[in-house]
Amino acid sequence: MTRLYSASLFSGLLLAACTLAHPAQAQTDLLNDLEKQTADSTKREVVAATFKGTHIINAQSIETPGHGTLAFLIQHRFGTLNSGAYEFFGLDQAVLRLSFEYGLTDRLAIGVGRSSIEKTFDGFVKYKALQQTTGSRPTPVSVTLFASSAINTLKFNQVANMPERSTASRLDYAYQVLIARKFSPGLSVQLMPTLIHRNYVALDGMQNDVYSIGAGLRQKLTKRIALTADYFYLLPGYAADNYRNALGVGVDIETGGHVFQLHVTNAQGMTEKFFVPQTNGNFFDGDIYFGFTVARNFTIKSQLK
């Protein structure tokens, strides 16, 4: 009885082993099987390259340089187009902002800049709080938090009877929540609730806190050329009554190594404290500044291990 039981068990197991070793569907398309096994519909993937650069035109974009990357930015604005032939349509005048941005992590970046307007230094922190993802439970938008402070370093006491200004009175702050969505590989849109706080305002009635809502977009025309625009709407107040909303329109041209951004805008300053609350130019009267931004990236820490 025992012998018979063992023999049947043995042959049964042997049969099972043979079946296991030679699967019946061995001739089916291996690649399809592989794709089926690796297809993970719940896999979430971060949507990359919502914007080409860390700036759209005037505005910061949700992008940061990325871990271990140092970006050197040259931002330039010529004079207004309607300044006439004598000023060579603005090309005789120029203001500049040079800045460095460094990605401490893939999400966190810090930066410093120097604008020629009012000899202003600025420093900022940018953090990608939320990243747009694809997958079964996608995050619809990317959110980047931005905070910057700027200090005016003009010497005020060079003019007779003008007192020097205190450090506190030279400081301005900008806070932004940058919310962006890449709707398609070509189209990205960004919304930017903005608060500018100024410690010192020159005139009675001027707001210390200026609120604005900005919007920006990028539409690719070809793989390497894109149309860009950004706009800051000032919420009602002194700034809205006496200044204009900043508008920029431009193109991003990618050459492989770096991105050239060419644009026209009615704002001359290139930090938030200038273009949000004190844009003077009327875009449609020809108070248009031609400008460009060139970014060059340096790899400080290699991504490859």
Partner 1 sequence: MKRPFFLLLPTLLLCTGLTYSHAQGKYMTKTGQVSFFSATPIEDIEAKTQQVAAVLDFSTSQLAFSLPVKSFVFKRTLMQEHFNENYMESDKFPKATFSGRFVNFDAATLNTAGPHPVQVEGDLTLHGVTHHVQVPGSVELKGGQLLASATFPVASADYNIEIPLLVRSNIAKTVSVRVNLACAPVAGAVGAAAPPR
Instruction: Write out the residues near partner 1 by the rule CB under 8 A.
Output: 2-3, 6, 9-10, 13-14, 16-18, 20-31, 33-38, 45, 48-49, 65-69, 103, 185, 223-224, 254-258, 297, 299, 302-304
Task: Say which residues have a Cβ less than 8 Å from residue 195's Cβ, sequence separation at least 6.
Answer: 174, 175, 176, 209, 210, 211, 212
Would you say 236 or 256 has its CB closer to partner 1? Answer: 256
Q: Which is nearer to partner 1, 19 or 166 (CB)?
A: 19
Cβ 34 to partner 1 shortest distance, Å? 5
Q: What is the DSSP letter of 25?
A: T
Half-sphere exposure of 206 (CA within 13 A, CB side): 14
To partner 1, the closest distance from the beta carbon of 30 in angstroms equals 4
Cβ proximity to partner 1: between 73 and 246 the closer is 73
Closest CA to 275 of 56, 112, 19, 126: 56
What is the Cα gyration radius of the chain? 28
**Quick one: 208 or 303, whose CB is closer to partner 1?**
303
Least distance in angstroms from the C-beta of 187 to partner 1: 13
Distance in Å, CB of 37 to partner 1, minimum: 7
Which position has the token pair 């030279």?
170
Output 12 or 84, the one with its CB closest to partner 1.
Answer: 12
Enter the tokens of residue 206: 């001027």
Backbone angles phi, psi at 11, to 5 degrees: -65, -35
User: What is the closest distance, in whole angstroms, from the C-beta atom of residue 280 to partner 1 in the complex?
Assistant: 35
Q: Give the phi and the psi of residue 257 in degrees, each rounded to 5.
A: -80, -45
